[in-house]
Amino acid sequence: MIDKIKEHIAEVEKFTTQAKEDIENFRIKYLGKKGLLNDFFAEFKNVPNEQRKEFGQTINKLKTVAQEKVNALKEALENKAEEKGVYGDLTRPAQPIEIGARHPISLVKDQITEIFARIGFNVSEGPEIEDDWHNFTALNLPEYHPARDMQDTFFIQTNPDILLRTHTSSVQVRYMENNQPPIRTISPGRVYRNEAISARSHCFFHQVEGLYIDKDVSFADLKQTLQHFTKEMFGKSKIRLRPSYFPFTEPSAEVDVYWGLETETDYKITKGTGWLEIMGCGMVDPNVLENCGIDSKEYSGFAFGMGIDRIAMLLYQIGDIRLLSENDVRFLEQFKSAL
């Protein structure tokens, strides 16, 4: 009888299956109310006294081995079901990974930064929440100056001296306060103005402003720098500078690039003239240099500023500026090839 039980132990240890029904039949065969274990226990009374100890130990071993086998098979079956539910069929080909797209604002900003980096300009950044001094007063815009009306400003209600910056010229002020000439830096960033939102304007947009200060800097240096930029950025080197007014530069100018009239779109964006305005510029006003602790008798410089959004709309033929901030995946996916 003991040998027969040992044969069942060996059979239990070899048993394996992946079917739930087979596991249940196996459990009933050995551990059920009418299973073999109960039959063996019933035979215990007929076993000679000298064999009872070994007989009992062998039966208990069969019970333990059978229970462990049932538990192990059930656990393996549950793990397989869970793995299939989470990962699906692991033998199937993998799904292709969706390639992300960089935002057109980032693409244009990085391109502008790279162009100026090649001619020695570094990148400077500053806070978007600014104070009156850095955003206005230091830039030759004292309180009640009429030119402040050129920029509709978001002020912090609890503190009228704190505002959302209206241009990244505030970064240039901070840079001049903490660095001595020669200075050659560009300041990309987001700015805010209280304007009505439409297809052509928004209450926030992005700028890149540049600043160069050194001894004997002239307007000719400014023109040559901007001509180099337009050639690298647009592939067009024909520019013109029209007299304009900015409180922090004197003289000041608007910069136009000759875009041409080759397509219907060219006629539309240039209003039939072929010329397209891209930025403002000028020689830094001596008062601004003095406000920032730079000797205007020894140093001079030029500054320029352009809208990244406008250039992005121009390069990628985007008809509505609101698309740049709506995070529409269908719109952004168009720029995958521009990575």
What's the CATH code of the domain at 243? 3.30.930.10
Instruction: Please indicate, yes or no, if residue 62 is contained in any of the structural domains.
Output: yes
Instruction: Please indicate, yes or no, if residue 95 is contained in any of the structural domains.
Output: no
Q: How many helices (H) and strands (E) in the chain?
A: 12, 10
Contact 194, 201 (CB under 8 A): no
178 CB neighbour count, 10 Å cutoff:
10
Task: Give first-to-last CA distance, the chain, whole Å.
Answer: 79
Instruction: Please indicate, yes or no, if residue 198 is contained in any of the structural domains.
Output: yes
pTM of the model as a whole: 0.68
Looking at the fold, whether 200 and 77 belong to one and the same domain comes out as no
Instruction: Please indicate, yes or no, if residue 128 is contained in any of the structural domains.
Output: yes
Contact 167, 155 (CB under 8 A): no
Contact 218, 231 (CB under 8 A): no
Final residue in a domain of this structure, among 57, 87, 117:
87
Q: Domain of 227?
A: 104-338
Contact 201, 188 (CB under 8 A): no
- Residue 328: exposed, middle, or buried by beta-carbon count in 10 A (0-12, 13-18, 19+)? exposed
Looking at the fold, whether 75 and 112 belong to one and the same domain comes out as no
H or E element that contains 188: strand 183-192
Contacts 24+ apart (CB under 8 A), 63-69: 63/30, 63/31, 63/37, 65/9, 65/12, 65/13, 66/12, 66/26, 66/27, 66/30, 66/31, 66/37, 67/31, 69/12, 69/13, 69/15, 69/26
For tokens 């400014």, name the residue: 222
For tokens 């299956």, name the residue: 17
Looking at the fold, whether 187 and 263 belong to one and the same domain comes out as yes
Looking at the fold, whether 56 and 172 belong to one and the same domain comes out as no
Looking at the fold, whether 60 and 175 belong to one and the same domain comes out as no
Helix, strand, coil distribution of the chain in percent, nearest 5:
50, 20, 30
Instruction: Please indicate, yes or no, if residue 94 is contained in any of the structural domains.
Output: no
Final residue in a domain of this structure, among 54, 87, 120:
87
H or E element that contains 61: helix 52-87
Looking at the fold, whether 248 and 300 belong to one and the same domain comes out as yes
Instruction: Please indicate, yes or no, if residue 97 is contained in any of the structural domains.
Output: no
Looking at the fold, whether 109 and 82 belong to one and the same domain comes out as no
Looking at the fold, whether 79 and 200 belong to one and the same domain comes out as no
**Do β-strands 275-284 and 300-307 pair in parallel, antiparallel, or remain unpaired?**
antiparallel
Looking at the fold, whether 123 and 187 belong to one and the same domain comes out as yes
Distances (CA, A) of 102 to 124, 324, 331: 22, 12, 11
Closest Cα to residue 316, out of 336, 290, 300? 336
Looking at the fold, whether 108 and 74 belong to one and the same domain comes out as no
Give pLDDT tens digits along the chain (339 positions): 777 777 778 887 888 888 888 888 888 887 887 777 777 777 767 777 777 777 778 778 878 888 888 888 888 877 776 655 555 666 777 777 777 788 999 999 999 999 999 999 999 999 999 999 999 999 988 777 666 666 688 888 788 789 999 999 999 999 999 999 999 999 999 999 888 888 878 889 999 999 999 999 999 999 999 999 999 998 888 899 999 999 899 999 999 999 888 888 778 778 888 898 899 999 999 999 999 999 999 999 999 999 999 888 888 888 788 888 888 888 888 887 655
Final residue in a domain of this structure, among 59, 87, 115:
87
Instruction: Please indicate, yes or no, if residue 109 is contained in any of the structural domains.
Output: yes
Provide the domain count of the chain.
2
Looking at the fold, whether 132 and 249 belong to one and the same domain comes out as yes
Looking at the fold, whether 116 and 12 belong to one and the same domain comes out as no
Instruction: Please indicate, yes or no, if residue 158 is contained in any of the structural domains.
Output: yes
